[in-house]
Amino acid sequence: MSPRPVLQALASPTAAPTLPHYLPQADECTLFAQAHAAQLPLLLKGPTGCGKTRLVEHMAARLGRPLITVSGHDDLGAADLTGRHLIQGGDTRWVDGPLARAVRAGAIFYLDEVVEARKDITVVLHPLADDRRVLPLERHGELLPAAPGFMLVLSYNPGYQHLLKGLKPSTRQRFVALTLGCPSPELEARIVQSEGGCTPAVAARLVHLAQALRRLTEQDLEETASTRLLVMAARLTGQGLSLQRAAQVAVMEALSDDAQTLAALQELLHAVLDD
Query: Would you kindly state where each structural domain of the chain is located, as residue ranges?
Result: 3-179, 185-273
Rounded (10°) angle between helices 28-37 and 52-63:
50
The CATH fold assigned to 3-179 is: Rossmann fold (3.40.50)
What is the per-residue pLDDT for 7? 34
Give the pLDDT of the chain (275 residues) as one tens digit per residue: 333 333 333 333 334 457 888 999 999 999 999 999 999 999 999 988 889 999 999 999 999 999 999 999 999 999 999 998 888 777 888 899 999 999 999 999 999 999 999 989 999 999 999 999 999 998 888 899 999 999 999 999 887 654 446 788 899 999 999 999 989 999 999 999 999 999 999 999 999 999 999 988 656 677 889 999 999 999 999 999 999 999 999 999 999 999 999 999 999 999 999 86
Q: In this predicted structure, what is the pLDDT of residue 9?
A: 33
Q: Tell me the Ramachandran region of residue 242: left when phi exceeds 0, alpha when psi lies from -120 to 50, beta otherwise.
A: beta
pLDDT of res. 167: 81
User: In angstroms, what CA-CA distances link 192 with 69, 240, 242?
Assistant: 24, 17, 16
Q: What's the predicted TM-score (pTM) here?
A: 0.85
**DSSP letter string, 137-201:** ETTTTEEEEPPTT-EEEEEE-GGG-BTTB---HHHHTTSEEEE--PPPHHHHHHHHHHHHT--HH
CB burial class (10 A; 0-12, 13-18, 19+) of residue 65? buried
Question: Which distant-in-sequence residues (6+ apart) come within 8 Å of 31 by Cβ?
Answer: 42, 176, 178
